[in-house]
Structure 1
């Protein structure tokens, strides 16, 4: 960790710094040349660039995760809406033949035996039988929670994308300062 010398300057070597002669000091000793200062500035820019790239990668990962969560929330909302509309149309449908999904895009034909009761999953492999109105209430509550979650994910995704854009702009700026921005055709101009 850099230490301050007795004149308040930082010793970047991590050692204990003593008083140093000022640049061009008549007493001789070590002086800082202009190229050293540029290298130090360049070193700091390099460190900042490395840090920014690392943090931008983390933000990209977070952005990807949030996009995935948005897609999952949208799919869950679609599923809840389908369940809600099915419950609305269920009344008086005893004996009606329906197609029941069994997974992997496969369906079986079945007849509705009791349109007044619905089995609703509570999670953790637990399900309960409730009347249609209670099932509508449960689905409605889940729909409201899922919509709120989706709004939160979208808001957070926008924040992350704004931050990522700022990081990319700063990275581009640092690369331009070093003459590394753009493709080979831009650098050869």
Structure 2
């Protein structure tokens, strides 16, 4: 019969905790990516709604933040031009249609990243489950 040392059990527990920490960190990152996807969706809907209002010859009224939780009312007179964040601190002016396409591409990229992260999370969970099974096997002979 193989003798199981406390050190073996501690090593398994440490590996399990490390998998758990990595999985938790990954979950937090996944939440941030999901928030970015939601933000892309919201921006797309808003741009499309503004395009519709503009096409009808109307102006849209909105509130613009001026800092410290304060807002002013403003009218959007030209909804066909949108400033889009390109990343790394750069922005560009695009037509509303171009902006929607840019946001669509960004959402697709973020969705792929989220899928990859989900696959990694699955591997961490499987790793934790394998360690749990191994720990159970190691403890069974000592209980006999």
* Shorter-chain TM band: 0.7 to 0.9
Deviation at 1:83, TM superposition (A): 0.7
**Distance in 2, Cα, partners of 1:78 & 1:106:** 24
Q: Deviations over 1:34-81 (max 9, x none)?
A: xxxx8xx43x54332222112111101111011112211111111110
Q: Which has the higher contact order (CA 8 A, sep 6+)?
A: 2
Which residue matches 2:83?
Answer: 119
Q: Quick check: 1:148 aligned with 2:108?
A: no
TM-score by length of 2: 0.82
Which structure 1 segments of 5+ residues have no match?
Answer: 1-37, 180-189
Which residue matches 1:81?
Answer: 41
Q: Which has the higher helix share?
A: 2
Q: Quick check: 1:64 aligned with 2:28?
A: no
Equivalent residues in 2 for 1:21-36 (5 A)?
none
Q: Quick check: 1:98 aligned with 2:58?
A: no
Q: In angstroms, what is the RMSD of aligned CA positions?
A: 2.4
**Distance in 2, Cα, partners of 1:131 & 1:45:** 67
Which structure 2 segments of 5+ residues have no match?
Answer: none
2:83 is paired with a residue whose SS is: strand
Q: Quick check: 1:167 aligned with 2:127?
A: no
Q: Deviations over 1:79-108 (max 9, x none)?
A: 110111112112143531113456887654
Q: Quick check: 1:52 aligned with 2:12?
A: yes
How many pairs are equivalent?
139
**Distance in 2, Cα, partners of 1:82 & 1:59:** 34
TM-aligned CA distance change 1:160 to 1:117, over 3 Å? same
Structure 1 contact 121–128 (Cα < 8 Å) conserved:
yes
Q: Which has the larger radius of gyration?
A: 1
